[in-house]
Amino acid sequence: MQLPDSDQKKPPNPRDALTVARIVRVNHAGEFGAIRIYSAQILVANWFWADCIPALSEMLEDERNHCAIFRAAMPSRNSRPCRVMQFWSYGGWILGFLTALLGRQGIWACTAAVEAAVHRHLDDQLHFLKQRDFQLYGMILSIREEELAHLRHAEEHLQTPGVMLQVLRKVISFATDSLIWLSTWGDSTRMTHALKANKNSA
């Protein structure tokens, strides 16, 4: 999905503009990390779990598209990619590689944990953006549908969650949040605080 960038409404005040810039930066970093995770998983799946490749390749294609959409949305919102994307680049790749070595359940546990972490942020973002940046709101709404499809696919392929699987999902979820925090230099926390403050004042 590619939307024209020229007709976007300017956020009404500098604080909102800063939050919008953070949303775009954090989401772009998250999509970049997802690309690295799925790339590493596809590499391992090529050796051991070839049946997972079609779904993983489709997800990788979606993430590339999402990443490009957020990148294109940056200039007009005074936003730039994080300067420390290496955290996501190496961290995401290692996360994907190790979980894929664990087998199919490792792959789908990782996908479910990462997609759930992404999804957690999106509802608050949508709530904030609806009155402030309708174009970005529309982009995220459509991206959320695809992220939800990734999450559903992973959950359908996960076996009944045993203790090991639950621990693995928690560890991956923590690793994902930490990598996003590191790669955005804490912007993800500031974005969450701004969105919470907005929700409480609504």
Q: How far is the CB of 44 from Fe ion (least distance, A)?
A: 18
Q: How far is the CB of 94 from Fe ion (least distance, A)?
A: 18
Rank residues 18 and 100 by Cβ distance to Fe ion and give the closer one: 100
Residue of 28, 77, 121, 150 interacting with Fe ion (CB under 5 A): 150
- The answer to whether 24 touches 174, Cβ cutoff 8 Å, is no
Side chain identity, residue 160: T
- Total interface residues for Fe ion by CB under 5 A: 5
- The 10 Å Cβ neighbour count of residue 104 is 16
For 151-179, b where at least 16 C-beta lie within 10 A, e where not — what string? bebbeebbeeeeeebeebbeebbebbbeb
Determine, following the binding rule CB under 5 A, whether residue 112 of this chain makes contact with Fe ion: no
For 30-44, b where at least 16 C-beta lie within 10 A, e where not — what string? bbbbbbbbbbbbbeb
Binding mask 66-95 toward Fe ion (x if CB under 5 A, else -) reads: x-----------------------------
Residue of 52, 100, 140, 147 interacting with Fe ion (CB under 5 A): 147
The residue number whose beta carbon is nearest to Fe ion equals 66
- Provide the binding-site residues for Fe ion, judged by CB under 5 A: 31, 63, 66, 147, 150
